[in-house]
């Protein structure tokens, strides 16, 4: 049956050639999709050292509660990057948290979120990464102190805190909602910053998206909570914020400004809407304590400081100026359960995001030179409880601790 | 409050020190430069001993200030408002040495229209004039310095300096008078952070609300007295809770 | 020997208003642009936030935002019989320094010139005869008309969000605006600012006297505004710390608040600050600029090659650099030859202080903005008949008091002793009830043979370069004009209900000591005839076609208005000429 074998071989050969041809024709589309998804997942945030001009070459230190890790080189360099990895190895890294050679990744790499991405999406990212300039840059990722530097310990951690696998769609919800879920819970990895962690660094799933301290900032509640979350924001407000870093209420600064400028400012409108729709459907918490009394000593001094130092920008009634000075009246950032960001911004100032849609990038000046801890505590307590706002007061001790912490940070 | 001197923390995105170009320029490219905590607030004058004046000079300047701006039942005079403290701290700083002025020679007298042409800095002028004034007073008033002679005699001396009828040994009396008057009046009306205008007394006297920044609600309230108390750069008493709390 | 850097398409000397406008226009056209700025980067939140911007001692009296004379200054004399002496500390005018230039600390008064201002010699000669003008008056036509400039005035006003009330919309006079202004194609982008008490009272008095008062056009915005570049400004809060100060809440139009946020994001733009250009380089023909040399803060020199050189260093520094670089022929007042340095002018401002009964009038002078004010224009330019008056020129006048800062604004009635209890009482009794606009009369300053710039023979800067020398005095024409205008102004102040009006007309000799606005003009004037100008109507050097010279140095004489809108309009017009004509065909845009 030689002719049969030959025929079969020929057919097989043709099939292989045909398959390769089909792959080539789709190359551009896959790579472009991969570029978009890498942007969405914001791989560059960790894997590109700022100012280095070398995309994805790794080396950027990532703070974790257990020490620092350095993001690896994910350029196609064969020796120091991922050029020699197979497709399956790359997919396993994102979906299972396991690198080449069975090396466990630390969850500073958000595989706990990226696991929800489809194989197709992950391979598109791979196809894109394969086209970036290879950079020879050896990075020793594991900079953690003993005993956290033992990667095998991740086995136990994963068992506790990692549920690998794709999200099942929720048929009762719209396609837009499901797309939002796929993004928020997956590549966009919002919970990485916005969900509080337990003492072992795993997600506090009962507090899903309800706010978390990260890199010395408080990433706020992004559920539909009326006071502390997005309850007062429309879908349009959320989209405007993600697109431009600004909306009629808030301005992105700190790590969120980085996120917006690098990632969401360049995302498709439909994806931003999907994220907004999904977030608006995450239920908020219960209404809590009433505002502090107007004649509370802190409210009186805080009110004087506010009128004298803050109102020239934020306006006497806390309404701010849309696109320029954030509103404080009704603002979720102001009424956050945790005042870390508020204290930080008052002490150090902050530069807001500058994007093509909102290029101004106004900055808040620093007040550490002018306001001692008592004054910072009063004015923040005041804005948290004025104009109908209600949130726990901030103590002098809390401000002092934050001032001390900030003096030891490089950023 | 501990003053934070200008700290420049590098942010990696915006500040590039170009290797190829000048390493000593600041190149701005790609983003507006910004660093957390950066600020350039004024250097406050802190209460304490004289920094520039000797105790005798300080006493004389206090006495001079108190005649240029005498106390009255409603408002302190130049001494209690801290004018001499203001002058002392100013002379110890950039102002005293005319820092930033073009001080290259040759110095020559010019017309009135050509402005200041003397190499004598404010610090030098005060030192020389106060020494000459002291010498004059001790000779004319049985060993008493300016600070201890009767007020009407003090006024007569000041009038003499003003009209140039009183000459100081080795120092221009009129030039000193002009400088001292300007500095004293500035000390009375400058922000209290600089040591004068204590408790904003000067501002309260005239009705200037100080370092305020927002009058939007008051622009069209024509012919109405503005009710808010003055505030300085460092704030005002209402920023601190009363002691009893 | 300067170290040579990689070449750029464009090098801009100075990153003030014109430098920023040109940088944005040309980077948007795809050119690779570097701006070399002598001073520091300046940013609102770190350099002048509301928490320490309102500091009269630091910024108004100690000049902290300005150029230090130790870094650069000039010498001055009234006439050649005197020895010019250095301006050791600023007085008559203030010189900016740093990114944003004077745009950081200006008052934001945003006026257009009158149509007749641009054809001044032709117009006055036609109306009054050539003999009416003083023999040594060297005024000229500009080579550009109001109509040609109008679209660019419009562009600058919309870049800034200028607040005002139109007076002439496409030829139709509008109620409440300036009836004398040239026709504008559209209304101001934001409404006029609100006016405090004394300014409103001035308008009322003026109206009663038959004048037509209108709000001063203001770059301190009446409301939040997003400009065509997408940059947002906030509403002015009338803090009274405007001219001399940076604006703390993004509500004063400046390069920072209108252009720089977008400009710095352009990948083809770079600014180098704390670098001082010491000369412009020419090739061996002397007809082509090859770039600039600049010194960094260590004194080390660098050569920046470029195909186009834009001189945006502010009027007198433009003239100085042209002289130091050997560009054009230096003016010789004896022979009348040469144009570099010729036709220096300033501004003829004056005032009248009005003391009012404090029991009846409380002006709260501290509530103001830099460009607040109700003005009348009946006595500007040639809006009134000069034939029996014996002078030409004029200016706007108004209650334009921009502040109540106590160290400058505690005038006392004449006869009050300078010190003692009476002085103390007098400032207490008069502070809230006095009208005192330092430049209540903002008169023109025409040019003369004897008012010019050249190089000083004696004094040098820190690099050993000879300082610029200013020879300037006030002439009979300006003094007569000032007396006349000040009288008219005083009548209105009187009519407001003043108990006592103290007139302060401008008196000679010209002094370098008291502040007379920073509107110093001329030295590299524009015109359509290379025989009588240094630059052509597109500000292109007649001598070196790849060099353009911006700012008030182009003004053949100064009109009775603040200059910035005109400076910016000329810059926009030149930017367009570079983009649409020069780049396609580098060389002279005008063949004489």
Q: What is the CA radius of gyration of chain C?
A: 23
Alpha-carbon separation of residue A159 from B2, C231, C312, C349, C431 (angstroms)? 50, 50, 66, 81, 77
Q: Which of A58-67, A161-170, C429-438 has the highest mean pLDDT?
A: C429-438
Query: Do both A301 and A276 map to the same domain?
Result: no
Q: Active site includes C519?
A: yes
**Structure token digits, residue C275:** 């670098």
Subunit contact B34:A50, Cβ cutoff 8 A: no
pLDDT the model gives residue B16? 34
Q: Is residue A225 part of a domain?
A: yes
Identify the closest residue of chain C to B200 by CA–CA distance.
C406
Q: Is the pLDDT of residue C63 over 60?
A: yes
Is the ipTM, as predicted for this complex, more than 0.90?
Answer: yes
What pairs with residue C131 in β-bridges?
Answer: none
Q: What is the pLDDT of residue A148?
A: 82
Strands (DSSP E) along C221-275, which ranges? 225-226, 232-233, 269-273
Q: Buried b vs exposed e over A302-321: b needs ≥16 C-beta within 10 Å?
A: bbbbbbbbbbbbbbeebbbb
Asked if pLDDT for residue A6 goes beyond 80, the answer is: no
Alpha carbons C343 and C558: distance in angstroms, whole number: 10
Predicted pLDDT of residue A107: 87
Residue A67: Cβ within 10 Å count: 17
On chain A, the residues whose CB falls within 8 A of the CB of B16 are 51
What is the rounded average pLDDT of the residues B6-15? 30
Residue A18 neighbours by CB under 8 Å, 6+ apart = none
**Three-state secondary structure along A129-182?**
HCCCCCCCCCCCCECCCCCCCCCCHHHHHHHHHCCCCCCCCCCCCCHHHHHHHH
Among A312, A369, A411, select the one facing B1 at the smallest CB separation: A369
Domain boundary among A112, A136, A161: A161
Query: For residue C535, what are the β-bridge partners?
Result: C526, C541
Same domain, A94 and A191: no
Out of A253, A280, A307, a domain closes at A280
The alpha carbon of residue C204 is apart from the nearest alpha carbon of chain B, in Å, by 13
Identify whether residues A134 and A57 lie together within a single domain.
yes
- Give the pLDDT band of residue B3 (cuts 50, 70, 90): very low
Write out the H or E segment, with its range, that includes residue A39. Answer: helix A2-41
The C-alpha atoms of residue A229 and residue A242 are separated, in whole angstroms, by: 15
What's the confidence (pLDDT) of residue A3? 57
For position A410, what pLDDT does the model report? 73
Output the pLDDT for position B224.
Answer: 98
pLDDT for A186: 96
Tokens of C57: 């001692």
- Say if the Cβ atoms of A51 and B13 lie within 8 Å: yes
Q: How confident is the model at residue A151 (pLDDT cuts 50, 70, 90)?
A: confident
The whole-number pLDDT of residue A153 equals: 83
At A9, is the pLDDT very low, low, confident or very high (cuts 50, 70, 90)? Answer: low
Q: Is residue A11 part of a domain?
A: no
Is residue A9 in some structural domain?
A: no
**Same domain, residue pair A80 and A132:** yes
For residue A122, is pLDDT > 50? yes
Q: Which domain holds residue A344?
A: 297-407
pLDDT at site A7: 56
Return the bridge partners of A293, or none.
none
For residue A181, being part of any structural domain is answered with yes
**Residues A188, A155 share a domain:** no
My answer on whether A150 and A179 are in the same domain is no
| Chain B environment of A363 (Cβ under 8 Å) | 32, 34
Dihedral over Cα of A34, A40, A46, A52: its sign = positive
Residue C170, token pair as written in the block: 């496409």
Number of domains, chain A: 3
- Is the predicted pLDDT of residue B152 greater than 80, yes or no? yes
Give domain status of residue A350, yes or no. yes
Q: Cβ–Cβ of A375/B240 closer than 8 Å?
A: yes
Q: Does A321 touch chain C (CB under 8 A)?
A: yes
Interchain CB distance below 8 Å, C50 and A358: no
Q: Is the pLDDT of residue A354 over 50?
A: yes
Q: Which of A96, A224, A83 is nearest to A166 (CA)?
A: A96
C neighbour chains, 3+ CB pairs within 8 Å: A, B
CB–CB contact A350 B36 (8 Å): yes
Same domain, yes or no: A42 and A143: yes
How confident is the model over A48-85, as pLDDT tens digits? 998 888 999 999 998 887 888 999 999 999 999 999 99
Percentage of the residues of chain A whose pLDDT score is greater than 70: 94
What stretch of H or E contains C279? strand C276-282
Q: Classify domain C3-582 by CATH number.
A: 3.50.50.60
Please state, rounded to an integer, the average pLDDT across all residues of chain B.
Answer: 90
The answer to whether residue A95 scores a pLDDT higher than 70 is yes
**Percent residues over pLDDT 90 in chain C:** 99
Q: Give the separation between CA A195 and CA A205, rounded to whole angstroms.
A: 8
Q: Could you tell me the two tokens for C16?
A: 């003030």
Taking residues B149-165, report their average pLDDT: 97
Band (A287; pLDDT cuts 50, 70, 90): confident
Q: Does the pLDDT at position C544 exceed 70?
A: yes
CA-to-CA separations, B95 to B86, B100, B128, C18, in angstroms, rounded: 11, 9, 17, 33
Smallest CA–CA separation between C553 and chain B, in Å?
A: 23
Stretch 80-99 of chain C: residues touching chain B, C-beta under 8 Å:
82-83, 85-89, 91, 99
Count other Cβ atoms within 10 Å, centred on residue C346.
23
CB atoms within 10 A of CB C585: 8
- What is the residue extent of each domain of chain C? 3-582
CB crowding C287-321: b at 16 or more within 10 Å, else e: ebbbbbbbbbeeeebbbbbbbbbbbbbbbbbbbbb
Q: What is the pLDDT of residues B205-235, one digit of tens each?
A: 999 999 999 999 999 999 999 999 999 999 9
- Is residue C500 within 8 A of residue C413, CB to CB? The reply is yes
Same domain, A270 and A313: no
Residue scoring higher pLDDT (C536 or A140): C536
Of C360 and A141, the one with more pLDDT: C360
pLDDT of residue B46 exceeding 70: yes
Q: Does A305 touch chain B (CB under 8 A)?
A: yes
Residues in chain A: 411
> What is the predicted pLDDT for the residue at B244?
57
Angle among Cα B12, A248, C157 to the nearest 5 degrees reads 80
Mean pLDDT value of segment B54-70? 98
Contact B26 C272 (CB under 8 A): yes
Task: Choose from C48, C419, C428 for mutation: most chain B CBs within 10 A.
Answer: C419
pLDDT at C591: 80
Six token digits for residue C534? 């240094």
The model's pTM:
0.94
Residue A121 lies in a domain: yes
Check whether the bond before B106 is cis (ω within 30° of 0): yes
| CATH code for the domain in which residue A398 is found | 1.10.760.10
Chain C CB within 8 Å of residue A351 CB: yes
C268 and C27 in contact (C-beta within 8 Å)? yes
Identify the active-site residue in C386, C442, C519, C591: C519
pLDDT at B85: 98
The mean pLDDT of chain C is 97
- Write the residue in B13, B216, B231 that is nearest to A50 by C-beta: B13
Q: Count Cβ–Cβ pairs < 8 Å, chain A vs chain B.
A: 84
Q: Which residue of A has its CA nearest to B232?
A: A308
Tokens of C17: 């208003």
Chain A residues 365-404 with a CB less than 8 Å from chain C: 365, 367, 370
At residue A200, the pLDDT reads 85
- Considering the domain architecture, whether residues A242 and A311 belong to the same structural domain is answered as no
Tell me: do A31 and A155 sit in the same domain.
Answer: yes
Rg of chain A, C-alpha, whole Å:
24
Tokens describing residue B159? 């009038």
Q: Do A305 and B239 lie within an 8 Å CB cutoff? A: yes
Show which of residues 330-349 on chain A sit within 8 Å of chain C, judged by CB atoms: 349
Residue C116 has pLDDT above 50, yes or no: yes
Q: What is the mean pLDDT of residues A245-263?
A: 96
Question: Looking at residue A143, what is its pLDDT?
Answer: 84
DSSP line for C150-205: HHHHHHHHHHHT-B---SEETTEE-TTS-TTSPPBSS--SBPPPP--HHHHHHHHH
Q: What DSSP designation does C112 have?
A: P
Q: C 363-402 residues with CB below 8 A of B?
A: 364, 366-367
d(CA C425, CA A46): 67
Task: Return the percentage of chain B with pLDDT > 90, whole number.
Answer: 85
CB pairs under 8 A between B and C: 237
Mean pLDDT of chain A: 91
Looking at the fold, whether A220 and A315 belong to one and the same domain comes out as no
CA distance A384 to C97: 41
Decide the pairing of beta strands C466-471 and C452-460. Answer: antiparallel
How far is CA A242 from its chain centroid? 11
Residue C426's H or E segment, with its range, is helix C421-430
> What are C270's strand-pairing partners?
C34
Which residues 116-155 of B have a C-beta within 8 angstroms of C? 116-117, 155
Who wins on pLDDT, C147 or A20? C147
Residues A269 and A247 in one domain: yes
The predicted model gives A144-157 an average pLDDT of 84
pLDDT digits (tens, 9 = 90+) for C557-566: 999 999 999 9
């Amino acid at each position: 049956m030689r002719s049969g074998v030959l025929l079969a071989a020929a057919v097989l050969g043709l099939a292989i050639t045909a398959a390769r041809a089909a792959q080539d024709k789709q190359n551009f589309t896959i790579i472009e999709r991969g570029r978009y998804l890498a942007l969405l997942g914001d791989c560059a945030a960790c894997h590109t050292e700022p100012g280095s001009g070398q995309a994805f070459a790794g080396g950027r230190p990532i703070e974790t509660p257990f020490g620092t890790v350095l993001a690896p080189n994910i350029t196609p360099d064969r020796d120091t990057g991922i050029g020699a990895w197979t497709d399956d190895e790359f997919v396993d890294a994102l979906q299972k948290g396991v690198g080449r050679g069975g090396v466990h990744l630390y969850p500073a790499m958000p595989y706990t979120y990226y696991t929800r991405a489809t194989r197709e999406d992950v391979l598109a990212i791979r196809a894109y990464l394969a086209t970036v300039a290879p950079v020879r840059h050896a990075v020793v990722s594991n900079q953690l102190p003993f005993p956290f530097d033992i990667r095998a310990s991740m086995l136990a951690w994963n068992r506790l805190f990692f549920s690998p696998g794709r999200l099942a769609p929720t048929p009762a919800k719209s396609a837009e909602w499901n797309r939002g879920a796929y993004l928020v819970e997956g590549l966009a990895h919002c919970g990485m910053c916005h969900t509080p962690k337990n003492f072992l660094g795993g997600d506090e799933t009962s507090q899903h998206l309800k706010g978390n301290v990260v890199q010395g900032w408080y990433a706020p509640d992004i559920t539909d909570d009326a006071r502390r979350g997005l309850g007062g924001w429309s879908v349009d407000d959320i989209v405007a914020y993600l697109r431009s870093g600004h909306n009629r209420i808030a301005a992105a600064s700190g790590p969120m400004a980085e996120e917006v400028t690098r990632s969401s400012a360049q995302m498709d409108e439909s994806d931003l809407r999907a994220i907004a729709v999904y977030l608006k459907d995450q239920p908020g918490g219960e209404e809590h304590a009433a505002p502090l009394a107007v004649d509370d000593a802190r409210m009186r001094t805080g009110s004087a400081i506010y009128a004298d130092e803050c109102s020239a920008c934020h306006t006497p009634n806390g309404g701010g100026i849309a696109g320029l000075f954030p509103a404080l009246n009704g603002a979720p950032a102001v009424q956050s359960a945790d005042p870390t960001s508020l204290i930080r911004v008052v002490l150090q100032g902050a530069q807001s995001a500058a994007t093509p849609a909102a290029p101004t990038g106004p900055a808040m000046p620093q007040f550490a030179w002018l306001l001692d801890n008592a004054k910072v505590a009063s004015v923040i307590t005041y804005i948290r409880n004025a104009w109908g706002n209600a949130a726990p007061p901030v103590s002098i001790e809390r401000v002092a601790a934050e001032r001390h912490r900030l003096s030891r940070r490089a950023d | 409050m501990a003053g934070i001197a200008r700290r420049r923390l590098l942010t990696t995105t915006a500040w590039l020190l170009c290797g190829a170009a000048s390493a000593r320029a600041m190149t701005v490219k790609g983003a507006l430069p910004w660093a957390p905590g950066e600020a350039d607030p004024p250097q406050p004058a802190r209460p304490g001993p004289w920094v520039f004046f000797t105790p005798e000079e300080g006493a004389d300047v206090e006495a001079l200030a108190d005649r240029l701006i005498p106390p009255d039942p409603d408002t302190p005079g130049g001494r209690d408002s801290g004018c001499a403290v203001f002058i002392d701290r100013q002379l110890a700083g950039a102002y005293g040495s005319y820092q930033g002025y073009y001080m290259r020679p040759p110095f020559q007298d010019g017309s009135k229209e050509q402005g200041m042409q003397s190499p004598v800095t404010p610090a030098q002028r005060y030192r020389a004039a106060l020494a000459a004034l002291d010498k004059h007073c001790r000779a004319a008033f049985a060993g008493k310095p300016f600070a201890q002679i009767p007020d009407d005699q003090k006024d007569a001396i000041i009038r003499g300096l003003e009209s140039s009828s009183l000459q100081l040994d080795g120092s221009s009396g009129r030039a000193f008078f002009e400088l001292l008057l300007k500095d004293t009046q500035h000390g009375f009306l400058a922000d209290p952070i600089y040591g004068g205008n204590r408790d904003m007394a000067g501002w309260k006297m005239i009705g200037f609300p100080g370092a305020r920044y927002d009058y939007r609600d008051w622009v069209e309230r024509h012919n109405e007295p503005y009710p808010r108390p003055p505030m300085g750069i460092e704030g005002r008493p209402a920023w601190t809770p009363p002691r009893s709390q | 020997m300067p170290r040579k850097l990689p070449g750029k398409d464009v090098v801009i000397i100075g990153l003030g208003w014109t430098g920023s406008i040109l940088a944005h226009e040309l980077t948007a056209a795809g050119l690779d642009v570097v701006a070399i700025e002598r001073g520091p980067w300046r940013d609102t939140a770190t350099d002048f936030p509301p928490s320490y911007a309102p500091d009269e001692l630091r910024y108004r009296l100690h000049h902290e935002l300005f150029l230090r004379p130790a870094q650069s200054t000039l010498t001055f004399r009234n006439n050649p019989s005197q020895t010019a002496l250095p301006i050791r500390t600023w007085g008559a005018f203030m010189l900016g320094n740093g990114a944003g230039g004077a745009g950081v600390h200006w008052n934001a008064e945003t006026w257009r010139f009158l149509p007749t201002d641009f054809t001044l010699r032709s117009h006055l000669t036609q109306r009054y005869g050539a003999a009416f003008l003083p023999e040594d008056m060297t005024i000229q036509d500009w080579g550009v008309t109001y109509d040609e400039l109008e679209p660019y005035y419009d562009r600058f006003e919309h870049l800034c969000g200028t607040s005002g009330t139109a007076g002439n919309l496409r030829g139709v006079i509008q109620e409440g605006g300036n009836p004398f202004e040239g026709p504008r194609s559209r209304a101001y982008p934001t409404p006029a600012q609100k006016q405090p008490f004394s300014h409103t009272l001035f308008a009322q008095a003026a109206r009663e006297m038959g004048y037509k008062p209108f709000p001063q056009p203001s770059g301190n915005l009446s409301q939040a505004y997003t400009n065509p570049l997408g940059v947002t400004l906030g509403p002015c809060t009338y803090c009274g710390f405007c001219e001399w100060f940076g604006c703390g809440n993004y509500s004063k139009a400046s390069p920072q608040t209108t252009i720089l946020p977008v400009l710095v994001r352009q990948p083809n733009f770079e600014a180098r600050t704390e670098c001082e250009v010491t000369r412009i380089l020419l090739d061996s023909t002397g007809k082509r600029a090859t770039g600039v040399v600049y010194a960094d803060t260590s004194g080390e020199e660098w050569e920046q090659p470029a195909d186009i050189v834009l001189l945006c260093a502010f009027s007198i520094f433009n003239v100085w650099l042209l002289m130091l670089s050997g560009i054009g022929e230096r003016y010789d007042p004896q022979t009348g030859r040469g144009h570099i340095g010729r036709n220096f002018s300033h501004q003829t401002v004056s005032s009248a202080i009005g003391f009012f009964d404090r029991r009846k009038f409380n002006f709260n002078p501290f509530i103001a903005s830099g460009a607040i004010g109700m003005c009348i224009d009946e006595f500007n330019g040639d809006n009134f008949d000069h034939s029996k008056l014996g002078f030409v020129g004029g200016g706007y006048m108004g209650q334009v008091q921009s502040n109540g800062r106590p160290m400058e604004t505690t005038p006392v009635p004449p006869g009050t002793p300078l010190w003692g209890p009476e002085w103390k009482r007098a400032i207490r009794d008069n502070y809230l009830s006095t009208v005192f606009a330092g430049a209540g009369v903002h008169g023109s300053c025409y040019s003369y043979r004897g008012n010019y710039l050249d190089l000083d023979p004696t004094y040098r800067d820190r690099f050993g370069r000879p300082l610029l020398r200013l020879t300037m005095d006030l002439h009979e024409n300006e003094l007569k004009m000032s007396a006349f205008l000040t009288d008219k102004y005083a009548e209105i102040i009187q009519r407001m209900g003043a108990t006592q009006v103290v007139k302060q007309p401008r008196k000679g000799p010209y002094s370098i000591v008291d502040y007379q606005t920073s509107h110093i003009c001329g030295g590299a004037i524009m015109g359509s005839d290379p025989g009588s100008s240094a630059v052509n109507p597109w500000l292109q050097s007649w001598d070196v076609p790849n060099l353009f010279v911006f700012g008030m140095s182009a003004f053949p004489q100064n009109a009775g208005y603040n200059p910035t809108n005109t400076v910016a309009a000329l810059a926009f017009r030149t930017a367009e000429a570079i983009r649409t004509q020069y780049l396609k065909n580098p060389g002279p845009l005008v063949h004489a």
